[in-house]
Amino acid sequence: MRDKILEKSSELFLNLGFKSVTMDKIASDCGVSKKTIYKYFKNKTELVAAVADFMFSSICTGIDLICVLKKNPIEEIFEIKRFVISNLKDEKSSPQYQLQKYYPKIYTSLSRKQFGVMQNCVIENLENGIQQGIYRDKIDTEFISRIYFSGMMSIKDKDVFPLDHYSMNTLMDKYLNYHLRGICTEKGIEQLENQLKQK
């Protein structure tokens, strides 16, 4: 039952936002009483924290499954992007922005975990790309992994990039294009162009 509550809550929070979804709504959509939900989560904040962890773990598992395939590094980046977008419903409700605004402690904790996972993944991608002659061999992988994370977090700021101007899918495509053109060799640029044509 706990997993069912987490799954349904994740879906509601992504589609409607963390603030607007009530415990009554979650109970109704799960087909249980509020008392049942409170048996597993003492309040909404605890449920939000559990949902954030649940979503983070699900996405990490999916990304690991993509990375284990050892695809071309540029193809891998776009495959991860597609996976994340499909799992976050194109971020219609700006979940990161809402977490930051209404649940700052949960947001800070999640950001730290995201950074640790994303940095390792990006550095591995960069090193593979250098070995394959797709990325330039003089790049500072540590620095670029931090810039990459910072940029990915920044494009989710709806004050800077309002969702009525840009979909999250468009923003991520533009950001990946920007990121990759700064580090690719000519061979890498060709592969990037091929990826962009496949959209």
pLDDT score of 89 more than 80: no
Characterise 17 by phi-psi region: left (phi > 0), alpha (psi -120 to 50), beta (else): left
What is the CATH classification number for the domain harbouring 114? 1.10.357.10
Identify whether the C-beta of residue 153 lies closer than 8 Å to the C-beta of residue 97.
no
Number of domain units in the chain: 1
Domain span at residue 57? 2-197
Confidence category of residue 87, pLDDT binned at 50, 70, 90: confident
Q: Tell me, what's the pLDDT at 91? A: 57
Question: 3-class SS at 135?
Answer: strand
Tens digit of pLDDT for each residue in 19-33? 889 999 999 999 999
Task: Tell me the average pLDDT across 27-55.
Answer: 95
Of the chain, the percentage scoring pLDDT greater than 90 comes to: 72
Task: Tell me the average pLDDT across 190-197.
Answer: 91
